[in-house]
Copies of this chain bind each other. A is one copy, B any other.
Amino acid sequence: MADELKELLFPSSVAVVGASAREGKLGHELFSNVVNSFSGPVYAVNPGYEELLGRPCVSEISELPEAVDLAVIIIPAVHVPDALEECGRRGIGSAIVISGGFKETGGEGARLEARLVETANRYGINLLGPNCLGLISTQVGLNATFAPRGAREGDIAFLSQSGAFCTSVLDWAWKEQLGFSHFISLGNKAVLGEEDFLPSFAEDPRTEVVAAYLEGVSDGQRFLRVARDATVAKPVVLVKSGRAEAGARAVSSHTGSLAGSDRAYEAAFRQAGIIRAQNVEELFDFAYVLARQPVPKGRRVAIVSNAGGPGVMAVDAAELVGLEVARFTDDTARALGERMPEAASIYNPVDILGDARAERYREALRLVAADPQVDMIVALSAPTGILTYAELAQILAEARREYGKPITCSFMAGDLGERAYEMLREAGIPSAFDPARAVRALSALVRYADIRSASRSEVAEHEVDKPRATAVLSEAKRKDRVRLGVEAMDLLDAYGIAAAAGGMARSADEVQKLLPRLGDKVALKVVSPEMSHKSDVGGVKVGVPSEQAPEEALRMLNMARERFAEFPVDGVLVQENLPPGVEVIAGMVRDPTFGPLIMFGLGGIHVEVMGDVSFAVAPLTRHDAEELVRSIRAYPVLRGIRGQPGIDIERLVETLERLSQLALDFPEIVELEANPIMCYPDRVMAVDLRLTVSGEDE
C-alpha cells in the first residue's frame, strides 16, 4: 500500500495540466509554486505555449517526453476525465485533480466524478481530489498547490478534507514556524481517502505524527483496520467535525436512539488508538508536542515555577486531564530543601520564588528532571527582572536533551523575545501563556503512551452454529417479518449466548408440555413482535406458579388477541423464572459508515435516562469488548458493591464478542437489542430480544 503512493508523495517528475502564463489564474499560481519549489523535471501541458516559466510546455499529455510520476490537473471539470484517460495511456500512475465542479455541485458533476473513478481504477491511477488544494511534499520540495504560502519542512503529516482549512493552516503555520512532512488536501476523496495515506505516513521516517481534519470517513471498516496499525507506529491526532449531525434514522430500540453517527466515530477512533482533538487549537498543540517530544514512561508530572499561583493552576489542569502530580523521592526532596531558599516550596508544585535567578531555576529543574518518580515536567515562569526568558529557554532546552523526559512550558508574559522563541522551537518545547495549555499538551503524550501500551488483542472467532441462525432468519423472511422478538431467541443460543430456558406455546396443552424442565415458577410473555411495551399492557407475568401457568397463559393470549387485534399474536413464551440479578442491555445498530455498532449499558434507567452507555464498532477485539464493559460509569455495580458479589464479567465480555460476530455474519440484521440480560456471579443469561431485519439483504 505504502509503496503504491510513493510516486504521488515523492515524485521525481511532475507535469501540470492546465498550467497558465496568466497571473491571477489558479493554473498560473499552481505552476509557479511547482516550478519554484521542485528541483526535478517539471512540464507544462497547455496548447498555447511551447515554454512556460522556463519549462517545456506540450499541448497534449501524450506529447510529454517522459511518463512523469505525477500529473497535476487544473482544467475545467468537463475536460478532466479525458485528461485522466490520457494520463493512463501515457503510463502516468499518480494524479491530482485540483479542479472543482464534480460531486460537490450535484448531478452532472457527480457523473463526471464517476468517470474519473472508473478511469483511475482502469489504469490503476492513484488519484487525489478532485476539488482540492493539492499537496505539498517537503521532502522532495514540491508545492503542488495554488496557495500563496508553502509549508516549512517538518515532521507533521497533515491531511484535510477542507481545502479552505488547508489555506488557513498554511498561512497560520508559516507565521508560527510549524513544519510539515506532508500536507495533503483530500478534496472529494473520489479515489484516495484518509485511509490510503495513513500507512504511508506510518512508514515515512520523516513523519513523526499524523494530524488530520476530517468531516467524515469514506470506508469505516477499512479505516478502523488501517488506523489500528498506523497508530502503533505513529500518533494520529484529528479533528472530526460534524459532531452535531444527528443520524436521521428510524429507531426502534434504546441502542438506535442513542447511537448517533458521532458515537460511531468516537468509538472507532478510540478503538483505533486515534487521539481526537476537540478543536483546532488542540489539534496543533497535540500534533506539535507528539512530533517533537518523547512518550513519557508514566503519568507523573512535576511542576517547577517561580510563582505560587501559576503552580496551583497547573496542578488543577493536571487533575482535569488525568495526570498525576508527582511525589518526589526523599533524595530529591532533601536536595531541593538544601539548595532552595527556606521560603521556597520544595514539594510539587515546586515554587522557587520570584527572586530566583537562572542558576536556581536550572538547579531545581535538574533535580526534578532527574527524579525517577517524575515522568515529565511543566516549567512555569512569571516575568521577573532578574531572570530572562532566553536564559530560561536555554535551561529547558538543556534539560530536554539531557533527561529525555517531556517538557512543556508556560512563560506567562507578553513578549518573550526572538531568542527565547528560537531556543524553544529548536528544542521542540511548546509554550503557552496559559499553564493549563502546557499541561494539556503533556496529556496528549500520556494519551499516546497509553495507546501504544494498550493490549493489541485479536478479534476472537467463537464457535457458533451459523446454519441454525440462518434458519431463524429465513423463517422470519418466509413470514415476511421485519421485527422479531423473543421467538428469535434461538439466534442467541446458536451464537453461544446463553438464554433463559423456555419455549413457545399456543395452547394450554403446549404450556403444560414445556413446564417440567422450567422449575416451580415460570415467566409468561405474549409473543407479538410488533407490540412494544408488552409489560405495560399486561403481556408479561413473572413468578407464575407452574400449576397456574397453563390457565394464566391462555388468559393472557385471549386478552392480547382481544385488546390488540391489530397485532399478530404468535403465542406465549414460557420461560424459566430467573432470580434477581444485575440487568444489562446489549444492542447493535448498523452505522452507515462503520457498520455494526455495539452498545452496552446497565438496565433500568441507566441507558434511557442516564445515558450511561458505551459503544464499539464490530469486530470487537477482546480489548474492545472489555472496554465496552469497563467504560460505563456504573461499572462498579458489575464488579460488586456493598459486599454484593460481582457478576461474571468474563462471560459478559464473551457475550458481547459473540454478539459482534452475529452482527458481522448477518448483515440483514439492521438492529438488535438483548434487553434485559440477567447477570449473576456465575452466569449471564439473555431474557428478551428484539431485532429488525431488512427485507432486502440476504
Contacts and interface: CB of A to CB of B under 8 A. Distances in A.
Given A165-B307, A307-B164, A609-B633, A280 B313 contact: yes
A280 B410 CA distance: 11
Nearest to A383: B171
Contacts of A436: 278-281
A262 to B, nearest CB: 9
B244 A308 contact: no
Nearest to A608: B641
Given A165-B382, A609-B634, A636-B609, A309 B171 contact: no
A168 B643 contact: no
Given A168-B412, A172-B414, A641 B309 contact: no
A221 interface: no
A384 B167 contact: yes
A72 to B, nearest CB: 19
Interface stretch (A74-82, A111-119, A314-322, A688-696): A314-322
Interface of A: 104-105, 148-149, 160-165, 167-168, 171-176, 213, 215, 239, 241-244, 278-281, 306-310, 312-313, 315-320, 325, 343, 354, 382-385, 412-415, 433-437, 533, 536, 605, 608-612, 633-634, 636-637, 641-643
A197 B307 CA distance: 24
Contact of A634 (B605, B636, B643): B605
B241 A309 contact: yes
Contacts of A313: 239, 241, 279-280
A280 B433 contact: yes
19 contacts: A105-B343, A148-B385, A162-B310, A163-B309, A164-B308, A165-B382, A168-B307, A168-B413, A171-B412, A172-B412, A239-B313, A241-B312, A279-B436, A279-B437, A280-B433, A280-B435, A280-B436, A605-B634, A605-B641
B162 A308 contact: yes
A633 to B, nearest CB: 6
Contacts of A281: 433-434, 436-437
A316 B241 contact: yes
A530 B382 CA distance: 52
A637 B242 CA distance: 31
Contacts of A636: 605, 609
Contacts of A384: 167
Nearest to A262: B316
A244 to B, nearest CB: 4
A18 to B, nearest CB: 18
A300 to B, nearest CB: 14
A196 to B, nearest CB: 20
Contacts of A435: 279-280
A427 to B, nearest CB: 22
B164 A306 contact: yes
Nearest to A535: B642
Nearest to A343: B105
A167 to B, nearest CB: 5
Given A244-B316, A280-B433, A281-B437, A215 B168 contact: no
A343 B415 CA distance: 44
Given A161-B309, A279-B317, A315-B244, A175 B414 contact: yes
Closest 8 CB pairs of A and B: A162-B309, A164-B307, A175-B414, A168-B412, A279-B436, A164-B382, A244-B319, A280-B434
B309 A176 contact: no
Nearest to A325: B244
Nearest to A240: B316
Contacts of A176: 414
Contacts of A241: 309, 312-313, 315-316
Given A320-B243, A385-B148, A307 B162 contact: yes
A354 B307 CA distance: 47
A346 to B, nearest CB: 15
A476 to B, nearest CB: 28
Given A161-B309, A241-B313, 16 more contacts: A162-B309, A163-B309, A164-B412, A171-B412, A171-B413, A172-B412, A172-B413, A239-B313, A242-B312, A242-B316, A244-B316, A279-B437, A281-B433, A609-B634, A609-B637, A610-B612
